[in-house]
Structure 1
Amino acid sequence: MSKLREIGVKPASRHGQNFLIDLNLVRLIVSSAELGPRDVVLEVGTGTGALTEMMAPQVGAVVTVEIDKHLYELASEELIDFDNVTMLQCDALKNKNRFNPLVMDAVGEALARVPNSQLKLVANLPYSVATPIISNLLLCEHTPHMMVATIQKELADRIVADPWSKDYGALSVWMQAQCATELVREMSPKVFWPQPKVTSAIIKCTVSPEHRDAIPDLRYFHQFTKSIFLHRRKFLRANLVAAMKRELTKEQVDEIIGRMGFADDARTEQIDVPTLLAFCEEVRKVAPDWKL
């Protein structure tokens, strides 16, 4: 923190910058990621390089991304002795639905250099990009083995939520359909500088290749989950009718609802992940070319 003040770096609220200043929690992030020499780590939000510096000696390679030019220059000095660290000064995202190709290219090159490698996202994620980073990485050409990140607790609660709860939604289903999800630790605003107005948490998501392979069309399932949770207070039937208004008649929707055995008053937030996966496949059989 003092170093940042010395060089005149001020956290940019537009980038969601809050620096983790508790080294014990930095160590907890690293230990939760279970790092080893086969790992290629993607870090979004290099910051001062403290987390990068702790991870680099333990892994095959680190690709770390920082959007802020001044922080990039500061971290470059701190990390200059690590030849397995690739630093990028850019936005990690091309848009809210896709990663920046520069980032994915760098990750691909690092994976190619490290024998028998596996990708892990380990980061103190800027709040402004936490959701698209975590959710979109599961659609990239380089699938992560694990994701360990600090995020808003509100977002962590959504990721691990159970059906019938207020936090259960599209993100819960998308993540839990592919990962074992765990909230590792809540984090007080006091462990960050500047202090955010919200509580944070360390989330750990371990990707299951078997679960991913059981989903025939990941992109279809992704847009399906988003569309049927779009109006939480509506009945499941009404949500499907709205999502598929150009693809399915109401009679076709009723046939699918009937095959699934859903009650007339069923709501999307009551349905568990395996059932929603099956429901998606029933819809995909009838409307395989659906686009939002």
Structure 2
Amino acid sequence: MKRFREMGIQPATRHGQNFLIDLNLQHMIVDSADLDERDVVLEVGTGTGALTELMAQQAASVVTVEIDGHLFELANELLFKYDNVVMLKQDALKNKNTFAPEVLAHIGKQLEVAPERRLKLVANLPYNIATPIISNLLACEFVPHSMSVTIQKELGDRIIAEPWSKDYSALSVWIQSQADAQIVRIMPPSVFWPPPKVQSAIVKIAVDPEKRASVPDLKYFHQFTKALFIHRRKFLRANVVAAMKKHLSKVEVDAILTEMNFAEDCRTEQIDVATLLKLTELVRAQAPDWTL
């Protein structure tokens, strides 16, 4: 905080900046990522560079992205001595559904250095972009080996939520269909500056290649489950009919739901990941060109 005051830097609300000031927790984030010489780390939100420096000492390469020009300069003073750190001053996202091409290009360049290299997301994520960063990385051309991130606890609860719970959502399904997720540590507001109004959590998401391979069309599955969860407490039939209204008749929808043995009063929030995947494939077989 003293360094921030010396440089006249104030956290920017528009960028969701809350800086982790507990050094033990910084080490815990890095330890949860289990880094070694094979790893190319993507960090979104360089901040002061403290977390970046810890990772640079363990990983093959760190591609770190910071949108704030003042913070970029501050971090550069600490990180310039590391030749395995690539610093990017820009937004990590092109839009809410897509990573910036420049970020992906630098990741690809680092991964190409050796065949055994693998991508890991390790970051104290800005709260306002945490969901699209995590979600989009699972859909991009470079599949992450794992993600170890600091996010709002509320988001962490959604990621690990089970059917019937209030937090179960399309995001829960999207992540759990491809990975195993756990909350590593819950953190109070006091470990951040400025302290947020909510609790935070370190979450570890480990991608499971077998799970991911079991989803025949990831994009279709992602879009279809998002459509179903727009009104997750409504009856499943109403959600499927609404999503497929230009592609499947009510009779065709009813036939699919009957084949799946769904009760008439079944709701989207009740259905587990494996069952949603089966439903998606029956729908996709009849409406392969559907998009949200």
**For the superposition of Structure 1 and Structure 2, which TM-score range results when normalised by the shorter chain?**
over 0.9
Q: Measure the CA separation in 2 of the matches of 1:114 and 1:49.
A: 26
Q: Measure the CA separation in 1 of the matches of 2:29 and 2:63.
A: 17
Query: Which residue is 1:138 aligned to?
Result: 138
Letter in 2 for 1:26: Q
Deviation at 1:190, TM superposition (A): 0.2
Query: Which residue is 1:177 aligned to?
Result: 177
SS of the residue corresponding to residue 203 of structure 1 reads strand
Query: Which residue is 1:22 aligned to?
Result: 22
Q: What aligned pairs does 1:60-99 form with structure 2 within 5 A after superposition?
A: 60-99=60-99
Query: Which residue is 2:269 aligned to?
Result: 269
Q: Which runs of 5+ in 2 are unaligned?
A: none
Q: Which runs of 5+ in 1 are unaligned?
A: none
Query: Which residue is 1:279 aligned to?
Result: 279
Deviation at 1:40, TM superposition (A): 0.3
Number of residue pairs aligned between Structure 1 and Structure 2? 292
Q: What aligned pairs does 1:134-283 form with structure 2 within 5 A after superposition?
A: 134-283=134-283
Letter in 1 for 2:275: T
Q: Measure the CA separation in 2 of the matches of 1:114 and 1:67.
A: 29
SS of the residue corresponding to residue 17 of structure 1 reads coil
Deviation at 1:112, TM superposition (A): 1.1
Q: Deviations over 1:181-227 (max 9, x none)?
A: 00111010000000001110011000011111111110000101100
Query: Which residue is 2:3 aligned to?
Result: 3
Letter in 2 for 1:182: Q
SS of the residue corresponding to residue 263 of structure 1 reads coil
Query: Which residue is 1:125 aligned to?
Result: 125
Q: Is the 8 A contact 1:42 1:107 kept in 2?
A: yes
Letter in 1 for 2:136: N
**TM-score of the superposed pair, with normalisation by structure 2:** 0.99
Q: Measure the CA separation in 2 of the matches of 1:27 and 1:230.
A: 38
Q: Measure the CA separation in 1 of the matches of 2:204 and 2:75.
A: 25
Deviation at 1:11, TM superposition (A): 0.3
Q: What aligned pairs does 1:17-56 form with structure 2 within 5 A after superposition?
A: 17-56=17-56
Q: Is the 8 A contact 1:38 1:115 kept in 2?
A: no
Q: Deviations over 1:137-162 (max 9, x none)?
A: 00111010000000000000000001
Deviation at 1:129, TM superposition (A): 0.2
Q: Measure the CA separation in 2 of the matches of 1:10 and 1:191.
A: 17
User: 4+ runs of 1 displaced by more than 3 Å?
Assistant: none
Q: Is the 8 A contact 1:235 1:267 kept in 2?
A: yes
Q: Is the 8 A contact 1:61 1:114 kept in 2?
A: no
SS of the residue corresponding to residue 246 of structure 2 reads coil
Deviation at 1:291, TM superposition (A): 1.2
Deviation at 1:115, TM superposition (A): 4.5
Letter in 2 for 1:87: M
Could you say what the CA RMSD is over the residues aligned between the two structures, in angstroms?
Answer: 0.6
**TM-score of the superposed pair, with normalisation by structure 1:** 0.99
Q: Measure the CA separation in 2 of the matches of 1:178 and 1:35.
A: 21
SS of the residue corresponding to residue 147 of structure 1 reads strand
Q: Measure the CA separation in 2 of the matches of 1:115 and 1:91.
A: 28
SS of the residue corresponding to residue 52 of structure 2 reads helix
Letter in 1 for 2:175: M
Q: Measure the CA separation in 2 of the matches of 1:282 and 1:223.
A: 15
Deviation at 1:233, TM superposition (A): 2.2
Q: Measure the CA separation in 2 of the matches of 1:260 and 1:99.
A: 36
SS of the residue corresponding to residue 229 of structure 1 reads helix
Deviation at 1:114, TM superposition (A): 4.0
